[in-house]
Structures are given as structure tokens and as C-alpha cells.
Amino acid sequence: MTELVSLPKCPECGEAMIPSMCIAYKEYVCIPCGYSVEFCNSLNKIEITEKELDRMRSKYEKDINKLAFTNGGASCGTCNKKGGNNCKKCNIDYDFEYWRIN
């Protein structure tokens, strides 16, 4: 049986938003649109399979990690550096691949 997950629907592109907590106080994010929203929101919902959610997380993993480091207050797992643009020790020094800010 396929498990469905109900997620906010991005008002910009209509896709499901990823629950990522990569931006402080914005628990859901649409990586291609750059739209993010808090956990309690009034957006319409969309249902996708858990497999599709896993595929989206995998595809956007590097951008989510970069967002968490630069905008979400995450610390480097190696040197404990807090936020900023880059950390050579944990290889958070790449450009975003999919993230777009409106």
C-alpha cells in the first residue's frame, strides 16, 4: 500500500512544499520557487507519496543543507562554525543548484 503525505501546496508553482526546517521559522520550503512558510499556515494541501517526498528531498538535499547553514542557524558538524556562507571543513561552499529567491 502506498502511503500518502499531505503537504502545503506552493502558491507560486503548485508543487508540494518540502518539510525541511532549513530556514528559521519557515518549516516548509519550495526550493525551485524560493517560497517558504511556517508550520501553521493556511495554504491549500496537496497529497504525494512518501516515495515522491524522498525523491524530492534527495534531489534538493545540497540546497537544503546550504539553506540551513546560511539562513537557518545550523552549525557545521565538523568545526561547529555557526552560519555564514561557507565552511571548507564540511564542504558547504558550493553554489545553490535549484534554490531561487523570488
Average pLDDT over residues 72-82: 65
- Domain region containing 18: 4-90
Specify the number of domains making up the chain. Answer: 1
**Would you state the cell numbers that stand for residue 52, as one nine-digit string?**
515522491
pTM (predicted TM-score): 0.77
Longest dimension (CA), the chain: 43
Establish if 16 belongs to a structural domain.
yes
71 pLDDT band (50/70/90 cuts)? confident
DSSP code string of 3-65 = PEEEEEBPTTT-PBPEEEEEETTEEEEETTTTEEE-SS--PPEEEEEHHHHHHHHHHHHHHHH
Establish if 100 belongs to a structural domain.
no
pLDDT score recorded for residue 13: 93
Establish if 95 belongs to a structural domain.
no
Establish if 98 belongs to a structural domain.
no
